Chains A and B, each alone.
Chain A
Amino acid sequence: MSMFSQNPLMNGPNYSFSETPRVGAPEGAREHRFDPYTDNGGSTLAIAGADFTIMAGDTRTTSGYSINSRFHPKVFKIGGTTADQKDATLVLSVVGFAADGEALKERLDSICKMYRYRHGKPMSVKACAQRLSTILYQKRFFPYYAYAILGGLDEEGKGAVYSYDPVGSYEREQCRAGGAAASLIMPFLDNQVNFKNQFIPGSGEGHALQERERRPLTRQEVEVLVKDAFDGAVERHIEVGDGLQMMVITKEGIEEIILPLKKD
């Protein structure tokens, strides 16, 4: 004990501070730790097309059974020259713990702005996607509790969607749903975007059945798909609702569409 105290080692009686103070809470006191995370609900969705990407999210934010706000966007334009993001080319959606999501968005945005300032051109989705992964992984042991999806157009002008887990694992995909209703929306997307479990009628029995040929969806089809996906999620998940925010990224720029969802 005395090895760690300020007192010199002595045999026999010592002065008052011979006993090192006990570490932590006194006996009988209940240990109560501050939990730095909460879940603010909500859901996001991204679909890449041949020459466009649609990023979407509902606008409700909750804590427990309470609705904090009916209009709190979680889809953001990233890396424009100014704060109004008029010339932005990338879109980020974040869902999970809203404060971490916001902090993540602000960091990525300032990094993209610095890149634009230094190189005189906007960051490519591919570069930004890798950078976002690094940002998330840097906080591996105190993670940003947010599920991020990054969308834009790649170097060939094709729609690109990159999805992440909270610690930075990422992959490029055709479509991805995130957040509270991800498990409700994702199977619907598998079927409607990637045509999973769709076969050509009468093409055979069992393994001989031929899969329906995959084709890229048009913008109009995807917009309807997104609305349907959220209408379905709103019916079955209490943390999803109020409004639907859609960002449509094309080579002409980013168009924002706000539609109503059920508020119950």
Chain B
Amino acid sequence: MDHRPQAWGRPRDDIYGAYDGSYLQNSGPKQATQSPVVTGTSVIAIKFADGVVMAADNLASYGSLARFTDVKRLRTFHDNTVIGFGGDVSDMQYLDRLIGEIDIDQEYELEQLPDREAQKSVELMQASNLFTFLRRQMYHQRNEFNPLWNQILVAGFDDEHKPFLASVDLRGTSFTSPSLATGFGAALAQPIMRKYAATDEDAARLTRDQAVDVIKECMKVLFYRDARSLDRYSIAVVTKEGIDLKENEQLEKQSWAFAERIKGYGTQTV
């Protein structure tokens, strides 16, 4: 019998066999996210004359299971930036906290200033600046072999106060374009959006209403064909006046008439 204090209260090896401590993982290599677990699907966005529209549905999937149906995947930053997350939801929540800390720091700095006039003269962090931070963070994590499994869209304005839209993924690859989409959206929504805004000049001729319509149309196409999508979604419009974020929109005017004509799959014989 082992009477040492380390063994107190533990099942005895001679009766129960050696304890299987394999799940504790305390002497193996550091474990990082090697594949996403709970995931969000596409995020889509398009620039227009005086801002950017972005949308993402409210679903977080666990593989093919529609696990959480009320997850908000768009977040705002300081009333001038919208960030959309595709990919792993827990990594999204981690990034959300990082961004939240920056937001708080900036708000606090403003609070320290004596009056409204002084606060107005301060150059706030713009979408382009926050994007640089996210790009650096994502690239840093990939260098550590501990990637944040997301593809992120950032919308707002750049230093010259022109509409800004950019994307960064889990490897730190970043790019900008008049319209952007992650995941399935890159194949299904991007071709539609490019019809309306192939270049920045085209985007600068789009009105707010046109841009919102294009995005809604794309969300509908995605719901028709992306099996990991939902008909409830969030949509955000960012302009110089601020952000208009609606987090519980319902897809309108769906038409499944086309489904009747789809035949020839599986065991169907007629």
A residues sitting closer than 8 Å to B (CB atoms) are 4, 10, 13-24, 26, 32-34, 36-38, 40, 61, 63, 66, 68-72, 97-99, 102-103, 142
27 contacts between A and B (CB under 8 A): A14-B13, A15-B7, A15-B10, A16-B19, A17-B19, A17-B21, A18-B18, A19-B20, A20-B21, A21-B24, A23-B27, A24-B29, A26-B23, A32-B34, A32-B35, A34-B142, A63-B173, A68-B167, A70-B198, A72-B176, A97-B173, A98-B174, A98-B175, A99-B142, A99-B171, A99-B172, A99-B174
Inter-chain contacts of B172 with A (CB < 8 A): 99, 103
Q: Is B112 an interface residue (CB 8 A)?
A: no
How distant is the Cα of A22 from the Cα of B35 in the complex, in angstroms? 21
* Nearest CB of chain B from residue A251's CB, rounded to whole Å: 31
| Cβ–Cβ contact B13 & A21, under 8 A | no
Known: A16-B11, A16-B19, A66-B186. A38 touches B25 (CB 8 A): no
Q: Is B261 an interface residue (CB 8 A)?
A: no
| Cβ–Cβ contact B27 & A21, under 8 A | yes
Known: A15-B7, A21-B28, A63-B173. A34 touches B20 (CB 8 A): no
Known: A98-B173, A99-B139. A15 touches B27 (CB 8 A): no
Q: Is B4 an interface residue (CB 8 A)?
A: yes
How distant is the Cα of A22 from the Cα of B26 in the complex, in angstroms? 9
| Cβ–Cβ contact B176 & A69, under 8 A | yes
Q: Smallest CB-CB separation from B186: which chain A residue?
A: A66
How distant is the Cα of A21 from the Cα of B210 in the complex, in angstroms? 60
| Cβ–Cβ contact A23 & B171, under 8 A | no
Inter-chain contacts of B7 with A (CB < 8 A): 15-16
Q: Smallest CB-CB separation from B25: which chain A residue?
A: A21
Inter-chain contacts of B269 with A (CB < 8 A): none
Interface of B: prevailing SS: loop
Quick one: which of A16, A72, A103 has the most chain B CB within 10 A?
A: A16
B6-22 CB mask vs A (1 if < 8 Å, else 0) is 11001111100011111
Interface size range on B against A? 35 or more
* Nearest CB of chain A from residue B141's CB, rounded to whole Å: 10
* Nearest CB of chain B from residue A82's CB, rounded to whole Å: 13
| Cβ–Cβ contact A18 & B19, under 8 A | yes
| Cβ–Cβ contact A38 & B173, under 8 A | yes
Apart from A15-B12, A71-B177, A98-B175: 12 A-B pairs, beta carbons within 8 A: A13-B14, A15-B13, A16-B10, A16-B18, A19-B18, A20-B27, A21-B24, A38-B171, A38-B173, A72-B175, A97-B173, A98-B173
